[in-house]
Chains A and B, each alone.
Chain A
């Protein structure tokens, strides 16, 4: 059977009266990047830790590729790579020694070639013989990704993977994750507080709030009908306004400035606006919009706060 990459069924974690995770049901499709979103304390990290058997659930089940984590723990964990919270290593060992140790734990008998490849992949070549205690946070983050990929797992769990990375590092990581998905068919579950990052790379997502999965599904489907604030940049704002006011978009006008007009429309209406302005020969510099996930996230979490 073609099982999902991961399934969480009625997963709960209680600490006495406090319910950290409340009967979560999540299905993560194979070969996708899955974003787990939620405000601080929502239960994201607890969920990810339960998926790695670091925390024992109060109830519920976790399956990876159809196999129960609890009854096939060793087999399942052998096929998962992860970074949880922050990448920590044996500081008294070099990067190479750390990877060697972890590779051996994963049963890789001659890991030297693999270690070299993976260090090249994350851009740490030339620093492999330095003790990890001399590494910056960004370098440790790269090394964390290296250890997560070292044993070639099919499922990768990343908790806030962009934390501490510089802008170039974030871009590199984004391309690396997309490459892992597209070229190597890896399934990646990541949590992040940088919503734009999730929106850029995730295929599916779930929003956890107060321990419950309040929303989940394909990112494009969830966001398609969301109203965006679209900015039309032009030196001819009066012309833009007059064109829009003659159409149904008149009701969507929010405000205008000397060089821009703002309207509130869904993403799939943007081409209609472009066509309209072109037909009326209005010079436009750009049409842009705020990433919709941010709006969507705030809407969902504020709804469930009530």
Chain B
């Protein structure tokens, strides 16, 4: 099984498409960092305009922690796409290329193959997120230095001391990993259903966009289903920057995401075990 996981990782490493995510993250993060280096102070003043009438703001607000928060807020829309680009192709890409025949006539069970693909997708997602963390947090800290983190929420202003931030980022990135793993599992499930490469990627994004729109609309009809949509819980990482941290809410979100992952993976396994291969 370990051999199969490694071989699936080898394929991801060798596939040019796998590097699109890394390139996109690098470009976006660099652009934001350069922009904030050039005009960051003006940007901060603009944001604080309304607050300066009620508060006296002092200290270095534009620091590495804030820049990282801005980057994560911006990239949250793109990350699922970058993950689905690879995980949505794991089975259907092989079906479209005809290599699924090669794979399925080797001495492995179909369950092992799907589990290996899922785990290699999880490893890819983890490394992509680590890359984002290294660039967004590590490079930002180098460029902008440390400082207290000011987070402006809809209904509150949260200020976190600089020595209280790093663990929150690490936990937030771990929760973001769980969210992205849900997307990866969902796109893998769609990948099992399809024999073309693009369909599952586009479908995964379409569903995420649809669920996100449902989640953002203040319509009573949708209020009942919102708690069950995985997209509602994909933003739990932000909760790590509340004070105090809403632990119960986070546990509920983790549970919902884990249930979704279990359902998506189980369906993938059941469907793929009996799928006839014609490609």
Q: Mark A104-123, 1 if CB is under 8 A from B, else 0.
A: 11110000000000000000
Chain A hits for B251, CB < 8 A: none
Chain B hits for A85, CB < 8 A: 98, 101
Which chain A residues numbered 38 to 72 have a C-beta less than 8 Å away from chain B? 49, 52-56
A89 at the binding interface (Cβ < 8 Å):
yes
B153 at the binding interface (Cβ < 8 Å):
no
Q: Mark A225-262, 1 if CB is under 8 A from B, else 0.
A: 00000000000000000000000000000000000000
Q: Which of A55, A90, A102 counts the most chain B CB atoms within 10 A?
A: A90
- Give the number of A-B contacts (CB < 8 Å): 72
Interface magnitude class on chain A: 20 to 34
Chain B hits for A54, CB < 8 A: 101, 104-105, 276-277
How many angstroms from the CA of A105 to the CA of B108 in the assembled complex? 8
With A54-B276, A77-B107, A88-B97 already in contact, the answer to whether A102 and B14 are too (CB < 8 A) is no
A93 at the binding interface (Cβ < 8 Å):
yes
Chain B hits for A299, CB < 8 A: none
How many angstroms from the CA of A107 to the CA of B108 in the assembled complex? 11
How many angstroms from the CA of A91 to the CA of B7 in the assembled complex? 16
B107 touches A78 (CB 8 A): yes
A74 touches B16 (CB 8 A): no
Of B10, B97, B101, the residue contacting A91 (CB under 8 A) is B97
B276 touches A105 (CB 8 A): no
Q: Which of B7, B97, B105, B109 counts the most chain A CB atoms within 10 A?
A: B105
How many angstroms from the CA of A93 to the CA of B11 in the assembled complex? 9
- Nearest-Cβ distance from residue B107 to partner chain A, whole angstroms: 4
With A74-B108, A105-B108 already in contact, the answer to whether A84 and B101 are too (CB < 8 A) is yes
B102 at the binding interface (Cβ < 8 Å):
yes
Chain A hits for B15, CB < 8 A: 92
Of B98, B104, B106, B274, the residue contacting A88 (CB under 8 A) is B98
B99 at the binding interface (Cβ < 8 Å):
yes
B14 touches A107 (CB 8 A): no
Of B99, B106, B107, B109, the residue contacting A89 (CB under 8 A) is B99
B224 at the binding interface (Cβ < 8 Å):
no
Nearest A residue to B18 via CB reads A92
A102 touches B104 (CB 8 A): no
With A54-B276, A55-B277, A89-B99 already in contact, the answer to whether A101 and B10 are too (CB < 8 A) is yes
Chain A hits for B277, CB < 8 A: 49, 54-55
Of A55, A75, A102, A107, the residue contacting B102 (CB under 8 A) is A102
Of B3, B14, B107, the residue contacting A90 (CB under 8 A) is B14
A97 at the binding interface (Cβ < 8 Å):
yes
Chain A hits for B101, CB < 8 A: 52, 54, 84-85, 88
B160 at the binding interface (Cβ < 8 Å):
no
Q: Mark B193-206, 1 if CB is under 8 A from A, else 0.
A: 00000000000000
B4 at the binding interface (Cβ < 8 Å):
yes
A101 touches B105 (CB 8 A): no
How many angstroms from the CA of A77 to the CA of B106 in the assembled complex? 6
Which chain A residues numbered 247 to 297 have a C-beta less than 8 Å away from chain B? none
A77 touches B99 (CB 8 A): no
Of B4, B14, B104, B105, the residue contacting A93 (CB under 8 A) is B14
A92 touches B107 (CB 8 A): no
With A54-B277, A101-B10 already in contact, the answer to whether A107 and B107 are too (CB < 8 A) is yes
Chain B hits for A74, CB < 8 A: 107-109
Q: Mark B90-117, 1 if CB is under 8 A from A, else 0.
A: 0000000111011111111100000000
Chain B hits for A75, CB < 8 A: 107
Q: Mark A136-163, 1 if CB is under 8 A from B, else 0.
A: 0000000000010000000000000000
B14 touches A97 (CB 8 A): yes
How many angstroms from the CA of A88 to the CA of B195 in the assembled complex? 15
With A90-B14, A91-B97 already in contact, the answer to whether A52 and B107 are too (CB < 8 A) is no
- Nearest-Cβ distance from residue A297 to partner chain B, whole angstroms: 26
A218 at the binding interface (Cβ < 8 Å):
no
Which chain B residues numbered 249 to 279 have a C-beta less than 8 Å away from chain A? 274, 276-278
How many angstroms from the CA of A49 to the CA of B103 in the assembled complex? 13
Chain A residues with CB under 8 Å of chain B are 49, 52-56, 73-75, 77-78, 80, 82, 84-86, 88-93, 97, 101-102, 104-107, 147
Closest 5 CB pairs of A and B: A88-B98, A78-B107, A54-B277, A74-B107, A105-B106
What are 10 A-B contacts defined by CB distance under 8 Å?
A: A49-B278, A52-B104, A54-B276, A78-B107, A85-B101, A91-B97, A92-B16, A93-B11, A104-B7, A106-B107
Other 13 A-B pairs with CB < 8 A, given A80-B105, A90-B11, A90-B14 = A52-B101, A53-B104, A55-B277, A56-B276, A73-B109, A75-B107, A77-B107, A84-B105, A86-B98, A92-B14, A93-B14, A102-B106, A107-B107
